[in-house]
Amino acid sequence: MNYYVLTLFPEMIENGMNTSITGRAIAGGYLSLETVNIRDYSLTGNGRIDDYPYGGGAGMVMQAEPICRAYEDLVQRIGTEPRVVYLTPQGRVFDQRMAEELAREEDLIFLCGHYEGVDERVLEEIVTDQVSIGDYVLTGGELPAMVMMDAIARMVPGVLSNQESGQYESFQDGLLEYPQYSRPEEWRGKQVPPVLLSGHHGNVDRWRRDQSLLRTLKNRPELLARVELDKKDRKYLQSLLDRTKTPRLVSAAPDDDGAVAAVLTEEEQKFLAKLLAI
């Protein structure tokens, strides 16, 4: 995967990407990164690349021509015309599925905007994908570009070691990740859930699946609605409802998933009852 980034702050991208796992992947040749400083394509030669917005209003707008020149110079040099991702809160919201789709590309160009925005005409001319990383406004496109490059890189063969690639499975099967524990068995009075020490792989797998269901229900119910639930999943979710409705059962139940966490709010109960009725 070859990343190209058109930006006013190349050092920000390079410092970020050359660190940790992406840094190792770049050094190992699994990823490549080239930054292009849009300022080098200033029309006036003094580094200025922005101007006042037509129609008035606060802030400055990045001009079309320097960006287009930076882009044309790049595609001529690399000899291909990759997809161009423009980072903007107005774009489609980035998610794991989009990361998987973009990971199939060989080359990707990211265009990072600043100030109040970028002249619309250059976006029409060169951009193939407008992408947002969430409903909040950042000061520029560099951090969103790095977020995307990091998420995409994880799916590029060779970037993660075998050990690393098994981790952070959240979203890969539509559910959030189950909780993890390491030594010691007891830390500040808190015990590791006994099932994880049992050595019974079947029970561990079931417990983890249940925890994923519980977390997804509590934190991201809209994701749970899209997951295919099997008989055992339904049985566990039904048991949560039953235990919540009959508090006596909470203490009577084997404390395998943390009875407190498993008590559902009224809203969660309603959501679950509807889900299980389908």
Residue closer to ligand ADE (CB basis): 50 or 257? 50
Residue closer to ligand ADE (CB basis): 78 or 138? 138
Residue closer to ligand ADE (CB basis): 10 or 141? 141
* Amino acid in position 209: R
Shortest distance (Å) from residue 71 CB to ligand ADE: 18
Between CA 43 and CA 34 the distance in angstroms is 22
- Those residues with Cβ within 8 angstroms of residue 138's Cβ, 6 or more apart along the chain or in another chain: 89, 144
Residue closer to ligand ADE (CB basis): 126 or 272? 126
**Alpha carbon 203 to chain centroid, angstroms:** 30
Shortest distance (Å) from residue 133 CB to ligand ADE: 4
Q: What share of the chain is helix, strand, coil (3-state, %, to 5)?
A: 45, 15, 40
Shortest distance (Å) from residue 128 CB to ligand ADE: 16
Which positions lie near ligand ADE, rule CB under 6 A?
A: 87-89, 132-134, 136-138, 141, 144
Residue closer to ligand ADE (CB basis): 133 or 176? 133
Supply the DSSP string of 39-52, one letter for each residue.
GGG-SSSSS--EEP
Residue closer to ligand ADE (CB basis): 138 or 253? 138
Shortest distance (Å) from residue 114 CB to ligand ADE: 9
* Amino acid in position 110: F
What sections of 33-184 are H helices per DSSP? 64-78, 96-102, 120-126, 142-153, 162-165
Shortest distance (Å) from residue 201 CB to ligand ADE: 41
Strand boundaries in the chain, DSSP class E: 2-7, 32-37, 50-51, 61-62, 83-93, 107-111, 129-132, 186-187, 190-191
Shortest distance (Å) from residue 241 CB to ligand ADE: 37
